[in-house]
């Protein structure tokens, strides 16, 4: 068994370099490939700024992406306080070698393992001492030459730079949830919206603003525009909402799954002095989105 291990949040291009090497090595050795990952996130368990942590992928999204890249098996270990006390050596011996019968390990450039937070060079040394074949990968350079990381991608999404985040992820960022009842104001303005409640509360939400999006619902995909924010013109300003106007769509979808994929931010959230001014802006927003569709 050839194994790679880590949290792999977002399964971004840096992670994919490791996964490509994992799949290639397993085929060369005529063995299975396995990713050993964790849930929940260590920061949630260890309470290290957990209130600020938001994830790029749900557990199911992560597993699905890893398998789609050719990995034979994905194993998820429960990350508990007890588990967090394992040293790198203990983890390699007890889990990778003992439980999963690993013969080789693929390490990314910044892999850290164990309670002692052993870095990649030392993990390589320990693994070699234990008889594991060690396969190393380099960093995946971003377009600015700086290595890609989940933390950098989260910052981009928080800033609304979803197009830049996509270039680091290797795919466009999306949210999955259920359509719930809203205040129906959008319908009175001629822009009915689907109000989304996320299935994973810890999923990262893009920063406040209006976005050009793709919408998956009822087994089909549509274009649309999505407002993320506090609805300052009509809301109480206390709760973040995710409301999407789906273009050329007029179906009752309350209670159904909806997937919103963020293409680019088109403007910041703004408070308008009247509903008429809000409607004028929504018309301009749609015209701009339609230009992007036709590009």
Burial of residue 136 (CB within 10 Å: 0-12, 13-18, 19+) is middle
Per-residue pLDDT at 237: 59
**Alpha-carbon span 256 to 275, nearest angstrom:** 29
- Give the DSSP letter of residue 50: G
Burial of residue 15 (CB within 10 Å: 0-12, 13-18, 19+) is buried
Per-residue pLDDT at 267: 96
The Cβ of residue 249 has, within 10 Å, a number of other Cβ atoms equal to 17
List alpha helices for 29-149, DSSP H.
Answer: 42-46, 59-68, 88-91, 120-129
State the pLDDT confidence band at 235, using cuts at 50, 70 and 90.
Answer: low
- Give the DSSP letter of residue 94: I
Pairing, β 73-78 against β 33-39? parallel
User: pLDDT by residue (tens digit) across 116-141?
Assistant: 877 888 889 999 999 999 999 987 87
Instruction: Report the pLDDT averaged over residues 190-212.
Output: 93
Give me the phi and psi of 148, to 5 degrees please: -80, 145
Q: Which residue has the tokens 């989260």?
A: 154
The token pair that represents 115 in the structure block: 């309670």
Pairing, β 174-180 against β 194-198? antiparallel
User: pLDDT by residue (tens digit) across 19-46?
Assistant: 999 999 999 999 999 999 999 998 888 8
**Alpha-carbon span 53 to 45, nearest angstrom:** 11
- Range of lowest pLDDT (135-144, 159-168, 274-283): 135-144
State the pLDDT confidence band at 98, using cuts at 50, 70 and 90.
Answer: very high
Per-residue pLDDT at 220: 96
Helix axes 162-169, 150-158, angle to 10 degrees: 160
Q: What are the CA-CA distances from residue 213 to residues 15, 206, 224, 281 (Å)? A: 25, 12, 5, 17
Cβ–Cβ under 8 Å, residues 67 and 36? no
């Amino acid at each position: 068994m050839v194994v790679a291990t880590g949290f792999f949040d977002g399964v971004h291009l840096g992670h994919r370099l490791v996964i490509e090497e994992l799949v290639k090595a397993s085929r060369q050795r005529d063995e299975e490939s396995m990713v050993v990952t964790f849930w929940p996130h260590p920061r949630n368990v260890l309470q290290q700024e957990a209130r600020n942590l938001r994830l790029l992928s749900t557990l199911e999204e992560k597993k699905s992406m890893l398998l789609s890249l050719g990995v034979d098996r994905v194993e998820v270990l429960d990350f508990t306080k007890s588990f967090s006390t394992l040293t790198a050596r203990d983890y390699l011996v007890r889990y990778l070698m003992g439980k999963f019968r690993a013969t080789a390990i693929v390490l990314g450039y910044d892999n850290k393992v164990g309670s002692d937070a052993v870095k990649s060079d030392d993990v390589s040394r320990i693994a070699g001492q234990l008889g594991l074949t060690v396969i190393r990968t380099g960093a995946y350079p971003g377009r600015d030459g700086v290595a890609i990381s989940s933390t950098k991608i989260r910052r981009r999404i928080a800033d609304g730079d979803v197009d830049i985040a996509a270039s680091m992820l290797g795919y466009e960022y999306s949210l999955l949830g259920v359509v719930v009842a809203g205040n129906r104001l959008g319908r009175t303005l001629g822009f009915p919206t689907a109000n989304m409640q996320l299935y994973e509360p810890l999923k990262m939400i893009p920063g406040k603003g209006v976005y050009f999006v793709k919408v998956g619902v009822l087994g089909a995909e549509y274009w649309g525009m999505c407002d993320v924010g506090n609805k300052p013109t009509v809301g109480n300003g206390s709760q973040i909402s995710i409301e999407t106007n789906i273009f050329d769509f007029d179906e009752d979808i309350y209670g159904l799954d909806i997937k919103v994929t963020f293409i680019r931010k088109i403007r910041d959230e703004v408070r308008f002095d009247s509903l008429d001014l809000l409607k004028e802006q929504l018309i301009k927003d749609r015209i701009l989105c339609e230009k992007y569709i036709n590009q």
